[in-house]
């Protein structure tokens, strides 16, 4: 497929690497591509970053038929730019598409378009330690129509934003509130798709947690409120009796790529690792018997997010000694070393631009 390129007449000033936040600044160009039933995916194009005109009846605004991805590109010490597991993100987007009745993307076309966009925007990949260029592929239903059915037309786009070091203030454990009041998703629903609706469903519980002084919510399963699913918008890991445990994918848990990276590294290091059901009661018992060594979240934004405290009902669990656990530290270093090109990419996770 031929990709056309229209360059911006005027380029934006680049921000100071040391003052970057998250999701506030966008680069000069974006990738757009459209879909219709007659043409399939057509007109992939790199254009100046710009607002989109939309009819107020555009279906995505009313029925939420949308999916997205989140991945990153990194600047290595030699100045090169590389992406982490981009093929896996594009493949996951197609799995999300299936669940929301959105037509499949040609994964090779998307990867190629993304690489071309990045080579144009290379100068936007920040250099300071811990910074990166966040990549947000998005796909929305665009029929101007009111009525519940899958749209006949779609827009796919990719936008980019330079982001600061997630742990600018230090790699410190966070406090998590286990919610029994709200659920994020249920089996048979769209919990395993990366779709805006799941985020909308998580807001109220998140606000309540913040008000109570907690950073994130630990979600239990939507059926029995018994088994642990995820933490905030991250997957979750426990180290119990020297075994690394994460809830098995069950249809309502998002299959995180960082989650998969942790599992693959644990296997490579010959650690005991299990993907299985784990109930909140088992976790409480492991803590009571002194066997719960570590808890940490995994996701693209933070990579690894150590948990120092869990509150469930009126019980408060202090995890470890209040510092980052050895395992969390080890996974964080191993993954970021690969991302920033500090070690050889033995697992085939890097896509060079
Ligand atoms: C994106 C996401 C994750 C983490 O996935 P990564 O691929 O590791 O970034 C976990 N849970 C939810 C709900 C998510 O949306």
CATH of the domain at 156: 3.30.470.10
> Quick one: 192 and 141 in the same domain?
no
> Quick one: 152 and 206 in the same domain?
no
pLDDT (0 to 100) of residue 306: 95
Read off the pLDDT of each residue in 5-29 and give the average, rounded to a whole number: 95
Name the closest-CA residue to atom 12, ligand 1: 233
CATH number at residue 307: 3.20.10.10
Alpha-carbon gap, residue 21 to 165, rounded angstroms: 8
Alpha-carbon gap, residue 30 to 43, rounded angstroms: 13
How many domains does the chain contain in total? 2
> Quick one: 160 and 62 in the same domain?
yes
Single residue among 111, 136, 164 that ends a domain in this structure: 164
Which residues does a 6 A CB cutoff place in the pocket of ligand 1?
70, 194, 198, 230, 233-235, 254, 256-259, 298-300
Q: Which of 233, 251, 260 to mutate to test the pocket of ligand 1 (most atoms within 8 A of CB)?
A: 233
Of 139, 238, 231, the C-alpha closest to 184 is 231
pLDDT at 322 over 90: no
> Quick one: 138 and 178 in the same domain?
no
> Quick one: 40 and 103 in the same domain?
yes
> Quick one: 179 and 158 in the same domain?
no
pLDDT (0 to 100) of residue 213: 93
pLDDT (0 to 100) of residue 166: 84
Q: Is residue 325 part of a domain?
A: yes
> Quick one: 55 and 125 in the same domain?
yes
Q: Is residue 346 part of a domain?
A: no
Domain membership of residue 73 as a residue range: 4-164
* Strand 132-141, strand 292-299: pairing: unpaired
Of 283, 174, 179, 299, the C-alpha closest to 233 is 299
Average pLDDT of every residue of the chain: 96
> Quick one: 47 and 182 in the same domain?
no
Give the pLDDT band (50/70/90) at residue 110: very high
pLDDT (0 to 100) of residue 165: 85
Q: Is residue 352 part of a domain?
A: no
> Quick one: 148 and 253 in the same domain?
no
Q: Is residue 344 part of a domain?
A: no
Give the pLDDT band (50/70/90) at residue 259: very high
- Phi, psi angles (nearest 5°) of residue 260: -65, -35
pLDDT digit string, tens, across residues 190-235: 999 999 999 999 999 999 999 999 999 999 999 999 999 999 899 9
């Amino acid at each position: 497929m031929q990709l056309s390129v229209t360059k911006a007449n005027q380029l934006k000033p680049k921000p100071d690497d040391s003052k970057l936040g998250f999701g506030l600044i966008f680069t000069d160009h974006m990738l757009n591509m459209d879909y219709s039933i007659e043409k399939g995916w057509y007109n992939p194009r790199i254009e100046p970053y710009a607002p989109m005109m939309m009819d107020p009846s555009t279906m995505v605004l009313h029925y939420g038929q949308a999916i997205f991805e989140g991945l990153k590109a990194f600047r290595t010490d030699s100045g090169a730019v590389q992406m982490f597991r981009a093929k896996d993100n594009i493949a996951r987007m197609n799995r999300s598409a299936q669940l929301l009745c959105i037509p499949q993307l040609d994964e090779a076309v998307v990867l190629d378009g993304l690489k071309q966009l990045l080579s144009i925007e290379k100068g936007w990949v920040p250099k300071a330690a811990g910074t990166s260029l966040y990549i947000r592929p998005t796909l929305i239903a665009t029929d101007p129509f009111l009525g519940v059915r899958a749209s006949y037309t779609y827009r796919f786009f990719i936008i980019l934003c330079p982001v600061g070091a997630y742990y600018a203030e230090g790699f410190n454990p966070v406090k998590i509130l286990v919610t029994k009041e709200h659920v994020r998703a249920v089996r048979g629903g769209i919990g395993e798709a990366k779709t805006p609706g799941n985020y909308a469903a998580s807001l109220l519980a998140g606000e309540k947690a913040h008000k109570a002084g907690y950073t994130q919510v630990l979600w239990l399963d939507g059926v029995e409120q018994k088994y642990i699913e995820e933490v905030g918008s991250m997957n979750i890991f426990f180290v119990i009796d020297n075994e690394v445990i994460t809830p098995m994918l069950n249809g309502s848990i998002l299959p995180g790529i960082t989650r998969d990276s942790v599992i693959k590294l644990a296997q490579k290091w010959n650690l005991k690792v299990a993907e299985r059901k784990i109930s909140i009661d088992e976790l409480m018992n492991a803590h009571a018997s002194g066997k719960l060594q570590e808890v940490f979240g995994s996701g693209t934004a933070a990579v690894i997010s150590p948990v120092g405290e869990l509150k469930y009902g009126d019980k408060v669990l202090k995890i470890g000694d209040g510092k980052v656990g050895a395992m969390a530290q080890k996974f964080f270093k191993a993954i970021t070393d690969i991302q920033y090109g500090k070690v050889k990419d033995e697992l085939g996770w890097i896509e060079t631009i």
